[in-house]
C-alpha cells in the first residue's frame, strides 16, 4: 500500500501552485515534504485531501481518491492541520471523537468501540489526562497532540501532517517527531510537511524537496539535503563541520 501522486497540477487563477508533481509515499515510512515558503507543500496535502480542485491522479492502495466520497476518503487519509480552526469550547474527548464521523456518518451514534478507539488514541499521544478539558484552553503543544490523537482515531492507514511542530517547543517537537516514526512503524504511511531541515533529516525515511511548485529532489535524506539542492531551494549552505547547521548564501 502506498500513496501515489501522479502528474498533480493545482492552479490558482492563471498561476500553477503545483506543476506536474509526481511522488510516491510508502507505508511503514515517514515521507517529509520540505521546501521554502510558497513551494506548494501545504497545497499538495490539501490536494490529496480533495480540498482543492486539481488535475492528475492521486491514489492510495490502488484506490483513486477522486472518485471516493468525503467519508470514504477520510477513512483512508487522516489529516493533522498546523493549527485547528476550532472556535468553540468543545471538550477534548469530543474533538477526538469527531474522527469517528467517517465511520458512521451524519446520523450515526457513537458506539462502545468508538469510545474505546478515542481513549486509545488519546493514550498513544499521552493526552488521556486532557480528555475532560476544553480544547481551546490547552497550550499549543497539547492541542497539537490532541489533533494527532484525532488523526489516529480515524484508523486511517495514511496520515498527512502539515507542519505539526511549528507551534511546539523543542521538547514537544522531538516527542511529536518520535510519534510520527512510531506511527510509520505500525504500518501507516506518514507524510509530514516540515520547515526545519534538521527535523526532516532526523525523522524521515525519505524527503521530497519542493521548489516553485515542482519536485526538486526526492529520495533518502542524505541524497536530498545536499549543497546543490539547498542552494537552489533555500539559498543556504551547510555550515562546514556542523551536521545540522546552515548559513545563508550571498544573494547574487
CA distance 117 to 16: 40
Work out which of 5, 34, 79, 221 binds other proteins, going by CB under 8 A.
79
* DSSP code for 91: B
Instruction: Say which residues have a Cβ less than 8 Å from residue 109's Cβ, sequence separation at least 6.
Output: none
Smallest distance from other proteins to CB 124, Å: 18
C-alpha cell at 193: 510537511
Smallest distance from other proteins to CB 75, Å: 7
By the rule CB under 8 A, 67 interacts with other proteins: no
Smallest distance from other proteins to CB 18, Å: 17
Q: Which stretch binds other proteins (CB under 8 A): 21-29, 53-61, 65-73, 180-188?
A: 65-73
C-alpha cell at 141: 503543544
Instruction: Say which residues have a Cβ less than 8 Å from residue 160's Cβ, sequence separation at least 6.
Output: 45, 48, 49, 77, 78, 79, 80, 191, 192
By the rule CB under 8 A, 60 interacts with other proteins: no
**Total length of the chain:** 252
Query: Contact at 8 Å (CB) between 177 and 203?
Result: yes
- Tell me whether residue 51 or residue 239 sits nearer to other proteins (CB atom): 51
Q: Which stretch binds other proteins (CB under 8 A): 33-41, 67-75, 168-176, 229-237?
A: 67-75
Smallest distance from other proteins to CB 97, Å: 9
Q: Which stretch binds other proteins (CB under 8 A): 3-11, 19-27, 76-84, 183-191?
A: 76-84
By the rule CB under 8 A, 3 interacts with other proteins: no
- Tell me whether residue 107 or residue 248 sits nearer to other proteins (CB atom): 107
CA distance 2 to 13: 31
From 180, 170, 125, 132, select the one nearest 150 (Cα to Cα): 125
Smallest distance from other proteins to CB 202, Å: 27
By the rule CB under 8 A, 158 interacts with other proteins: no
Q: What angle do CA 97, 99, 101 make, to 5 degrees?
A: 95
In order, the DSSP letters of 219-246 are ESHHHHSSHHHHHHHHSEEEPTT-SS-E
What part of residues 84-123 is at the interface with other proteins (CB under 8 A)? 84-91, 94-95, 98-99, 101-102, 105-108
List residues binding other proteins (CB under 8 A). 46, 49-51, 69-71, 73-75, 77-79, 81, 84-91, 94-95, 98-99, 101-102, 105-108, 150, 154
Amino acid at each position: 500500500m502506498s500513496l501515489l501522486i501522479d502528474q498533480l497540477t493545482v492552479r490558482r487563477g492563471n498561476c500553477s501552485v503545483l506543476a506536474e508533481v509526481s511522488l510516491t509515499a510508502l507505508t511503514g515510512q515517514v515521507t517529509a515534504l520540505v521546501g521554502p515558503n510558497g513551494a506548494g507543500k501545504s497545497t499538495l496535502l490539501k490536494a490529496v485531501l480533495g480540498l482543492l480542485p486539481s488535475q492528475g491522479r492521486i491514489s492510495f492502495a490502488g484506490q483513486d481518491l477522486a472518485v471516493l466520497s468525503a467519508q470514504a476518503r477520510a477513512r483512508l487519509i487522516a489529516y493533522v492541520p498546523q493549527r485547528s480552526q476550532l472556535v468553540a469550547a468543545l471538550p477534548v474527548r469530543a474533538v477526538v471523537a469527531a474522527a469517528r464521523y467517517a465511520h458512521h456518518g451524519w446520523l450515526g451514534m457513537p458506539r462502545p468501540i468508538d469510545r474505546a478507539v478515542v481513549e486509545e488514541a488519546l493514550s498513544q499521544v499521552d493526552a488521556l489526562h486532557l480528555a475532560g478539558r476544553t480544547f481551546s484552553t490547552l497550550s499549543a503543544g497539547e492541542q497539537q497532540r490532541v489533533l494527532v490523537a484525532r488523526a489516529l482515531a480515524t484508523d486511517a492507514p495514511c496520515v498527512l501532517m502539515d507542519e505539526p511542530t511549528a507551534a511546539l517547543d523543542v521538547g514537544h517537537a522531538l516527542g511529536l517527531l518520535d510519534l510520527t516514526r512510531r506511527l510509520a512503524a505500525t504500518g501507516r504511511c506518514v507524510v509530514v510537511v516540515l520547515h526545519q531541515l534538521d527535523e526532516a533529516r532526523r525523522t524521515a525515511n525519505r524527503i521530497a524537496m519542493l521548489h516553485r511548485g515542482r519536485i526538486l529532489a526526492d529520495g533518502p535524506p542524505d541524497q536530498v539535503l545536499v549543497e546543490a539542492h539547498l542552494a537552489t531551494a533555500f539559498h543556504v549552505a551547510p555550515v562546514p563541520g556542523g551536521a545540522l547547521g546552515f548559513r545563508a548564501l550571498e544573494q547574487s
